[in-house]
Structure 1
Amino acid sequence: MRQNPSFTLASVDEIKRLVRQNPWMTIVSDTDASGLVASHYPVLLDETADGIALLTHVGRPDEVLHELGRHEVMFIVQGPHGYISPGWYDEKPAVPTWNFVTAHLYGTPEILSDDENLRVLEALVDHFEDELPEPRRMRGTHANSEYADRIAAGTVGLRIPVTRFVAKNKMSQNRPAETVDRIIDELEGDGPYASPSLAAEMRRTHDAMRAARAASASASASASADRA
């Protein structure tokens, strides 16, 4: 991923937020047998880890296809993204762009035991079912434990300690404030490229930038006053 200092996302906390809000990921492996292979699975954070660690599962035989546990893999997490028209800028000549937030997370998977895999599967189900008025569980009133065990046997659980990541948050940081406001208005509108989720991400990014600038200005003013 081509990096630009203006768009680099380096905060571990922000990466964790991105994972929590966008749990559907792409797993990419460079294998000895088949070269590049990719699969797609829901992923949770291991909230007990000091750094970033991912929890997921793959359906058999994906663990063989990816040669999991033998080498580093890449997980791609994609946040809100969308087309930005130059017509949303001003009258000056301009080209369109695409705003997005994404991260490439690298680590070597640890293969979980059957019991650990079952706990990860239950956590995944609970994570998504908790949003519903009548959650269904893998085990319990509306679940069959034997059926759950049979399904779990067809999967392999994984824990991936992330050893490095590359991330990018491109939200028109290089545009004037009035242009940013116009872009957000368009994204919140009803046009063909409206995207409320991208608008919210842009607001969050620019609010954080404004707060950081205000804090820096306040610190500079305090330092000047102390020297006076």
Structure 2
Amino acid sequence: MRQNPSFVLGDIPELRRLIADNPWVTLVSNTENGLVASHYAVVLDPERDDLTILGHVGRPDEAILELGSHDLLVIVQGPHGYISPGWYDAKPAVPTWNFVVAHLTGVPEILGDEENFRVLGHLVEHFEERMPTPRLMEGTPANAEYAARISSGTVGFRLTPTSVVAKRKLSQNRPAEIVDRIIDELENGSEYPNPALAAEMRRARR
């Protein structure tokens, strides 16, 4: 991804928030057989305060990704959306796309079976905790038995990125009154409503 100094996202807490809020990522691997992409949920490593992520893949994906043998590119896609030229005063004008995205690159560490099982449990707990009655992986003896059986079909990994390229293109190059208009269209307009993108724009201004 080409970087633009005006749109660099380099703040670690903001990057951690981006990952936490957008856990469904794309894993890209340049293998002997060409480029391969898979899609999985990840979480931040709770024992670290950097951008280390934890995740898992199915065993077939471990093989086709050649996981652990070379760099893996993890693409984290935040809110994004169409921005009409009718929302700003530039003449002539063309449409654009606002977005937040991060590319994390590194060689993933393959986890042993016990640690993989713990990571799977943490992943389930992370997403279930907001449910009225969380269904945890080891919440009942039956659940624990089932989880232990199917976990053997997964491979856990930890990735501490050695390269991070992150971009937050949210109309920072526009005058404040134009940014206000774009935010209003995203929040209240009927054609391309996108409250999540509007919230990111408000955050970027702060």
Inter-partner Cα distance in structure 1 for 2:52 and 2:64: 22
The range that moved more, 42-51 or 56-65, is 42-51
Give the direction of change, closer, same or farther, for the CA distance of 1:7–1:90 in structure 2 (3 Å limit): same
Please report the RMSD computed on the Cα atoms of aligned residues, expressed in angstroms: 1.3
> Where do residues 63-102 of structure 1 align in structure 2 (5 Å cutoff)?
63-90=62-89, 92-102=91-101
Q: Which stretch of the first structure deviates more once superposed, 86-95 or 111-120?
A: 86-95
Which of structure 1's runs of 4+ aligned residues deviate more than 6 A? none
Q: TM-score, normalised by structure 1?
A: 0.87
Matched residue SS, 2:188 = coil
Provide the rounded CA distance (Å) in 2 between the counterparts of 1:144 and 1:13: 35
SS of the equivalent of 2:164 reads strand
What does 1:163-174 correspond to in 2, within 5 Å? 163-174=162-173
Residues 1:143 and 1:178: Cα distance change in structure 2 (over 3 Å): farther
1:16 is displaced (CA, Å) by 1.0
Instruction: Provide, for residues 144-196 of structure 1, a one-character-per-residue CA deviation record: whole Å limited to 9, x for no partner.
Output: 22211111111000001111110100000000000000000000014121100
Name the SS of the counterpart of 1:188 in structure 2. Answer: helix
**Alpha-carbon deviation of 1:3?**
1.4
Indicate whether 1:10 and 2:10 are aligned: yes
Q: Which moved more, 1:91-100 or 1:168-177?
A: 91-100
Aligned match of 1:182 = 181
Number of equivalent positions: 206
Matches within 5 A, 1:139-218: 139-141=138-140, 143-206=142-205, 208=206
Deviations along 1:18-53, one digit per CA (max 9) or x if unpaired, are: 101100000000012x11000000000113225321
Q: 1:93 to 1:44 in 2, by over 3 A?
A: same
Task: Give SS of 1:178's match.
Answer: helix
Is 1:136–1:142's contact at 8 Å kept on the other side of the alignment?
Answer: no
User: Distance between the aligned counterparts of 2:188 and 2:54, measured in 1?
Assistant: 37
Q: C-alpha displacement at 1:13, in angstroms? A: 1.9
Q: Which amino acid aligns with 1:38?
A: A
Percent identical residues:
65
- In structure 1, the partner of 2:51 is 52
TM normalised by structure 2 equals 0.96
Q: Distance in 2 between matches of 1:60 and 1:141?
A: 26
Which sections of structure 2, spanning at least 5 residues, go unmatched?
none
Give the number of the structure whose alpha-carbon radius of gyration is greater.
1
Residue range with higher mean Cα deviation, 131-140 or 47-56: 47-56
Tell me the SS of whatever aligns to 2:89: coil
CA distance in 1, matches of 2:109, 2:60: 16
Gaps of 5+ in 1: 209-228
Corresponding letter in the other structure for 2:3: Q
Q: What is the identity, as a one-letter code, of the residue corresponding to 2:27? A: I
Match of 2:23 in 1: 23
Q: Structure 1's 44 and 35: CA in aligned 2 closer, same or farther, altered over 3 A?
A: same
Q: Residue 104 of structure 2 corresponds to which residue in structure 1?
A: 105
1:163 counterpart letter in structure 2: T
